[in-house]
Structure 1
Amino acid sequence: LRPLHIPCPAGEYNLQQQHFNSTDVLTDQEVEEMRVKKTLVDDPGVAEMMLQAIRAIAEAHPSSVAKTNMFGRTPLHLACMDLTFSRAQAAEYLIRHTPMITQLTDHTGSTALHYLMENQDASTVIPHSLLLNYLQADPQALERCNKSGFTPLDLYLQSSRSVPTRQSHFAVRRQMLGQ
């Protein structure tokens, strides 16, 4: 049985750059192919078909949801690495289907929440329901450190280009927990 994986071309490229120290630059054609793939995944019709396929596979083979690739990443990791609306829907489904998937770590010791928080920018908004479902499935998720010693909250503060302070750390944590 092959693992269930969500297409994530940008995430895989970033992974290649990070782990193999490649200095290769993407060609214009490769960039365009990645843009087209991402656009297709965000098309509502394609997104719905993808979600139906994920549901069908997960229901037919429940263990496939927790299968990992060669880097120890689950389908939830891959969905969170390059979040789009359709991948957020898929991530929510995967969490509801197999809540323990939120605790699985990859070869860097990172959970899917580490990637979700690390890859924040002005164009990406984490749906509140996704974050809430994640934290309900794993209440300790914000406290888990990866092998580099960073929690998901640390990565969020770094990626948001704010100056992390003890006060901002706790303010963001309260906001995420809805307190």
Structure 2
Amino acid sequence: MTNIYDFSVTDIRGHARSLEAYRGQVLLVVNVASKCGFTPQYAGLEELQRELGADGFSVLGFPCDQFGHQEPGDESQIQQFCSTQYGVTFPMHAKIEVNGPNAHPLYRWLKGEKPGVLGTEAIKWNFTKFLVGRDGQVIKRYAPTDKPASLRSDILAACKAAE
């Protein structure tokens, strides 16, 4: 796989979706969870989506239950939580694994493109973020502690880079 558009995912409603549909957009790919100390970041992610969506930007949320069983619900429960608690409008996807032998191919690729601290590829916790440019290549990886608002200037730069 050479860019993010080579991958297919399953949306939160169970439909297969090609990421080709996002060609030319700047993407922020995030593994999310509903019962995590970082869960309030949903609000910041949604703010970025609403503010920058018209500029060709989208957050892509991927629920994951690999960290402290902090995403115990099924897709319907996750969707309802995101909608009622945070008004999420950005695309949400079916629950996936981001580490280990059953890691989704998208996440295997993302981690290989931008390893973490000291070159480790493993995702350390919920709300690890990957910024992907309009060319489908990973620009930067962010830690779970990086608040969405702190990514704004990088996202804006990526949105302007290949207009």
Per the normalisation by structure 1, the TM-score is 0.24
More strand by share: 2
Greater RCO (CA < 8 Å, at least 6 residues apart): 2
Q: Indicate the structure (1 or 2) with the bigger Cα radius of gyration.
A: 1
More helix by share: 1
Per the normalisation by structure 2, the TM-score is 0.25
